[in-house]
Amino acid sequence: MNLRIAVISDIHGNVVALEAVLRDIARRGPDVTVCLGDLAFKGPAPSECVGLVRGLGMPSVQGNTDVTLAAVIGLSGYAYADRDDPAIVPYLEWHIRAMSAEDLSYVAGLPFSHRLEASGQTFLFVHGTPRAIAGYILPGLPADSVAAEIAGTEADWVVMGHTHRQYFFKHGATRLVNAGAVGFSLDRDWRAAYALLDTVEGTVTLVRVEYDLEGIVALARQRRFCFSPDWYREALRAGWWEAIPWSERPAIDQA
């Protein structure tokens, strides 16, 4: 079976970006679209994003923030632990209130990985790495570190998200792809990102899509988003979400 595969990841509740990406995917007409998780947290439209992915019936895997949302309300095998910063809880609760029981059950039940066979090759889709949901591989990592992360995968392709940075490179015979992020970038390019794989040609196209950034900010303002809409706008524009400690966020978001 020969396929063209679209891969989306890290939607993070940005329904405007997701709709723009889905329109672009529809225009290009791949055979299947796979989602690599982090559907809801950190965006003002978590339920809409889950609904679109779920409604389209695309194969999806679980992201680390999906696990965290589910854990807070006891829907995950992962127990929300004391070592987790309690200052994040009001932010998680905002999203939980904005989601239905069906939304939360869906993200809690997503698998760790998805495997697909096409053109005599095996494609492994995960959120972080084959070893860890919040793990990461980046170009430039030492070869032995990359080898450790993909050891035992028995896949010709390993397709990932989580880092919010697109890439494609080879490690030995294994092709490594990162689809980037739909919801917000961390590579200083504000546009939504996804990847297209062609199993026949063995090619990867790293796609960027413009979307109505002010539209999602307006929605954040309308819904009294837990993150400051002004701060959210600047993070989206910059293509960079600053890692501010959760305990310091209220001074920004409740100002």
β-bridge mates for residue 7, sequence order: 34, 195
Residues 6+ apart with CB under 8 A from 201: none
Q: Which two tokens stand for residue 46?
A: 């978590």
pLDDT at 94: 96
Residue 77 pLDDT greater than 80, yes or no? no
User: Which domain covers residue 72, as residue numbers?
Assistant: 4-253
Average pLDDT of 164-192?
A: 97
Residue with tokens 């999806």: 60
pLDDT at 8: 98
pLDDT at 11: 98
The identity of residue 195, as a single letter, is A
Quickly state the pLDDT bin for 43 (edges 50, 70, 90): very high
pLDDT at 80: 47
Q: What percent of the chain has pLDDT over 90?
A: 88
Total-model pTM:
0.96
- Dump pLDDT digits (tens) for 214-236: 999 999 999 999 999 999 999 99
In SS3 terms, 78-142 reads as: CCCCCCCCHHHHHHHHHHHHCCCHHHHHHHHCCCCEEEEEECCEEEEEECCCCCCCCCCCCCCCC
Average pLDDT of 84-99?
A: 90
CATH of the domain at 159: 3.60.21.10
Residue 33's alpha-carbon distances to 4, 30, 103, 179, in angstroms, are: 9, 7, 20, 12
Quickly state the pLDDT bin for 1 (edges 50, 70, 90): confident
Quickly state the pLDDT bin for 76 (edges 50, 70, 90): low
pLDDT at 82: 42
Report how many domains make up the chain.
1
